[in-house]
Amino acid sequence: MNNHPRTSACLLLAGILAVGMAQTALASAADFLKKDCAQCHNLTGPAPTTLKAMWERKGPDLFYAGNKYKRDWLETWLQKPTRIRPAGMYYGNHVERGVKSDEIKTATLTVHPALSAADAKAAADALMSLRANSELIKPGEYKPGSIPMTMGEMLFDKFRGCMACHEVEPGYGGLSGPEMYTAARRLQEDYLISFMRNPQAWDPRSFMPNKNLSDVDLQKLVHYLRALSEENTK
């Protein structure tokens, strides 16, 4: 044990400096988000309440990012962004009625800016500090478990009609919502439950219908989404 008073004072000072520096880093990361991301993402809330504002939204709202995303996924994705919504942020702007089915006008879709490793780390930390809507999350509500894949598919594809808007594997499923085969890698389990329970509580104008899912079905759907994400490693 080294309890020399001068050493302890030094350690204390080092501790204070480290905390101070972490706060400075977070503050400058917040400035960076404001400068480079705010033109497309809402970092302060609230979510749009009119259809016009909804259609004009350029990217997903990030003001509750800390309650929504898995931090490691953020840091990785920001360095190498891949498309998550097959038809872009607002489906209606990027889809044409085809002869057989709707077709995506890929030429009108933009590529997401990619960040350096250091910027991605700073941005992920800053995003995780944005914690609006905490009252909608019940920490630990999701209880890890499993569901036979065929049961999960029946629930998602047939009984609840979720596949009409979501892809369950690349190229298979609806185009208007985000892809589902990466959802559990991207999103916190307790967020998934909360959002599926009541999409409009998070986003009053969300196009996703509230299907009045039971607590049991919500748990099963997250089991299924986790299994889907393990199958697909995009």
Give the residues across from 69 on adjacent strands. Answer: 187
- Applying CB under 6 A, which of residues 26, 60, 71, 79 lies at the interface with ligand HEC? 60
Cβ closer to ligand HEC: 8 or 134?
134
Q: What would the x/- binding string for ligand HEC be over residues 122 to 141, using CB under 6 A?
A: -x------------------
**CA-CA distance, 185 to 108, in Å (whole number)?**
27
Q: How far is the CB of 11 from ligand HEC (least distance, A)?
A: 35
| Residue 91, C-beta contacts closer than 8 angstroms, at least 6 positions apart | 85, 175, 176
Q: Within its chain, how far is the Cα of 133 from the centroid?
A: 14
Q: Which long-range contacts (CB under 8 A, 24 or more apart) does 197-206 make?
A: 198/136, 201/133, 201/136, 202/47, 202/64, 202/133, 202/136, 203/47, 203/48, 203/61, 204/47, 204/48, 204/49, 205/47, 205/48, 205/49, 205/50, 205/51, 205/53, 205/54
Adjacent-strand bridge partners of 173: 167
Residue numbers 94-113 binding ligand HEC by CB under 6 A: 112-113
The Cα 204–Cα 133 span in angstroms is 13
Minimum CB distance to ligand HEC, residue 163 (Å): 8
In the stretch 159-198, what mask flags binding to ligand HEC with x, by CB under 6 A? -xxx-xxx---------xxx----x--------x--xx--
Query: Among the candidate windows 3-11, 16-24, 133-141, 207-215, which touches ligand HEC by CB under 6 A?
Result: 207-215
Axis-axis angle for helices 117-128, 71-79 (nearest 10): 140
Spatial separation of the C-alpha atoms in residues 48 and 132, rounded to whole Å: 15
* Member of 34, 58, 80, 234 binding ligand HEC (CB under 6 A): 58
Q: Residue 79 or 103: which CB sits closer to ligand HEC?
A: 79
Q: How far is the CB of 167 from ligand HEC (least distance, A)?
A: 11
| 25 lines the binding site for ligand HEC (CB under 6 A) | no
> By C-beta, is 19 or 31 nearer to ligand HEC?
31
Binding-site ranges for ligand HEC (CB under 6 A): 33, 36-37, 39-41, 58-60, 74, 78, 83-85, 89, 112-113, 115, 123, 160-162, 164-166, 176-178, 183, 192, 195-196, 203, 206-209, 211, 221
